[in-house]
């Protein structure tokens, strides 16, 4: 019988609640919760019948009964929490964006490798059954080569410079919050990492990126265009154009349906796989598989690293830094 892995969560926000609701679908129960505000941790524990609520966040890292920590706190806290978790022998699944920049991520990847631990980004695209099906279709060559990818993600956020989406102190901005999804889908359908990247961006009054467009191309000539905005609604739409057909995916971060249109006949066929509502289950199932098998390839951390390298280079070009990065080269 396989070992029953104990999950702990840091944070009590939207994703933490979804995670706590998803574990029972897998025949699991959340083992423990840690939160900066202890009272919120206690309320969260009561809501989900969690027996263990830590008085401080640091206690989760040294609990010998914790196997995997799911990190749901703001981006700018990830590096410190992940480092403590890995140093104490815990596997970590961290919400996107996994870190602020590629220097942080490279250091943590090395630490995870040194300790023989699984570190992964909770990027739904890596784990949705639909994408696993579409990648198989791509790899079969039946549709020809991927030529062009276009991705839109527009989110209408109230123009409140105090909320986390626009806060420099909470690593806000479009790129790390929603751009990470668009670049992840681009990377997953490209044969090689895009090395030619050009962009334009519009800062919010706080200095973070409110809006951006990015053009990408790799050495194989595959190209992509990405359009992001935090203050204007646009559909979460991805279109992958192959030589012989194009694939359209709506609500792509957690999609369970895609439409493939033949380039010549115009004939359409629908591909369905998985369920949008089970997105976190798929992530956690793959994470457990990686931990139990010792093979972490299913978590696609190499793709997360490629995406982080692109985002880090873009922000450097824009001159956009966060307080944690200032004074560092």
122, 147, 166 - which closes a domain: 122
SS3 297: helix
- What Å distances lie between residue 237 and 110, 154, 274, 286, 313, CA to CA? 35, 10, 18, 25, 24
Tally the domains of the chain: 2
For residues 214 and 65, state if they share a domain: no
122, 157, 173 - which closes a domain: 122
Q: pLDDT tier at 3 (50, 70, 90 boundaries)?
A: confident
Q: Which residues pair with 72 in a beta bridge?
A: none
Q: pLDDT tier at 2 (50, 70, 90 boundaries)?
A: low
In-domain check, residue 321:
yes
Q: What pLDDT is attached to residue 326?
A: 86
Note whether 244 and 143 are within 8 A (CB). yes
Q: Give pLDDT tens digits for 283-295.
A: 999 999 999 999 9
Structure tokens at 47: 């809501």
Q: pLDDT tier at 305 (50, 70, 90 boundaries)?
A: very high
In-domain check, residue 258:
yes
For residues 52 and 181, state if they share a domain: no
For residues 260 and 316, state if they share a domain: yes
pTM: 0.96
For residues 140 and 218, state if they share a domain: yes
CATH number of the domain residue 184 falls in: 3.30.360.10
The domain containing residue 105 runs over which residues? 7-122
Averaged pLDDT, 68-81? 96
* Apex 320 CA angle, 213 and 215, nearest 5: 20
Gyration radius from the chain CA atoms: 20
Residues 6 or more apart whose CB falls under 8 angstroms from that of 99 comprise: 75, 78, 79, 82, 105, 108, 308
In-domain check, residue 295:
no
Q: Give pLDDT tens digits for 155-181.
A: 999 999 998 899 999 999 999 999 999
In-domain check, residue 302:
no
For residues 224 and 135, state if they share a domain: yes
Average pLDDT, the chain: 96
Q: How many CA atoms lie within 13 A of 103 on its CB side?
A: 6
DSSP string, 150-205: EEEEEEE----TTSTTT-GGGT-SHIIIIIHHHHHHHHHH-SS---EEEEEEEE-T
For residues 173 and 229, state if they share a domain: yes
For residues 314 and 171, state if they share a domain: yes
Note whether 227 and 234 are within 8 A (CB). yes
Conformation bin of residue 16: beta by default, left when phi > 0, alpha when psi is -120 to 50 = alpha
In-domain check, residue 208:
yes
- What Å distances lie between residue 65 and 68, 143, 288, CA to CA? 10, 48, 15
Q: Give pLDDT tens digits for 10-33.
A: 999 999 999 999 999 999 999 999
Q: What pLDDT is attached to residue 44?
A: 98
For residues 250 and 186, state if they share a domain: yes
In-domain check, residue 2:
no
In-domain check, residue 1:
no
DSSP string, 276-290: GGGHHHHHHHHHHHH
101, 122, 143 - which closes a domain: 122
For residues 108 and 225, state if they share a domain: no
CATH number of the domain residue 104 falls in: 3.40.50.720
Residue 121: phi and psi, rounded to 5, are -95, 135
Statement: residue 327 has pLDDT above 90: no
Q: What is the DSSP letter of 327?
A: T
In 139-149, which positions are buried (b, 16+ CB within 10 angstroms) versus exposed (e)?
Answer: eeeebeebeeb
Structure tokens at 132: 């696993």
Does the N-terminal peptide bond of residue 97 adopt cis geometry, omega within 30 degrees of 0?
yes
For residues 113 and 131, state if they share a domain: no
Q: Give pLDDT tens digits for 82-120.
A: 999 999 999 999 999 999 999 999 999 999 999 999 999
Q: What pLDDT is attached to residue 328?
A: 61
For residues 79 and 24, state if they share a domain: yes
For residues 161 and 267, state if they share a domain: yes
Statement: residue 8 has pLDDT above 80: yes
CA–CA gap between residue 213 and residue 262 (Å, rounded):
28
CA–CA gap between residue 82 and residue 75 (Å, rounded):
11
In-domain check, residue 298:
no
């Amino acid at each position: 019988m396989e070992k029953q892995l104990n999950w702990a969560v840091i944070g009590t926000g939207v994703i933490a609640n979804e995670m706590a609701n998803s574990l029972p679908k897998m025949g699991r129960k959340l083992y423990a919760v840690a939160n900066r505000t202890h009272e919120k941790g206690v309320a969260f524990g009561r809501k989900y019948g969690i027996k263990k609520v830590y008085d401080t966040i640091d206690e989760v890292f040294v609990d010998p009964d914790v196997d995997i920590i799911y990190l749901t706190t703001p981006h700018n806290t990830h590096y410190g929490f992940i480092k403590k978790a890995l140093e104490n022998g815990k596997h970590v699944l961290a919400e996107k964006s996994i870190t602020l920049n590629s220097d942080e991520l490279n250091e943590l990847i090395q630490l995870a490798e040194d300790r023989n631990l699984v570190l992964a980004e909770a990027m739904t695209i890596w784990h949705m059954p639909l994408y696993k099906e579409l990648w198989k279709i791509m790899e079969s060559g039946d549709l020809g080569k991927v030529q062009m990818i276009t991705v839109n993600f527009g989110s209408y956020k109230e123009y409140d410079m105090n909320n986390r989406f626009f806060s420099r102190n909470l690593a806000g901005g479009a790129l790390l919050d929603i751009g990470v999804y668009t670049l992840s889908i681009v990377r997953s359908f490209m044969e090689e990492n895009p090395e030619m990247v050009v962009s334009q961006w519009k800062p919010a009054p706080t200095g973070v990126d409110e809006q951006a467009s990015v053009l990408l191309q790799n050495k194989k000539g595959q190209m992509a265009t990405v359009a992001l905005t935090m203050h204007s609604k646009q559909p979460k739409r991805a279109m992958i154009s192959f030589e012989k057909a194009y694939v359209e995916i709506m609500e792509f971060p957690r999609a369970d349906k895609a439409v493939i249109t033949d380039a010549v006949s115009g004939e359409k066929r629908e591909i369905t796989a998985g369920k949008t509502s089970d997105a976190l289950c798929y992530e956690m199932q793959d994470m457990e598989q990686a931990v139990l098998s010792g093979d972490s390839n299913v978590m696609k951390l190499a793709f997360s690293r490629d995406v982080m390298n692109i985002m880090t280079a873009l922000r450097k070009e824009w001159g956009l830094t966060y307080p944690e990065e200032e004074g560092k080269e």
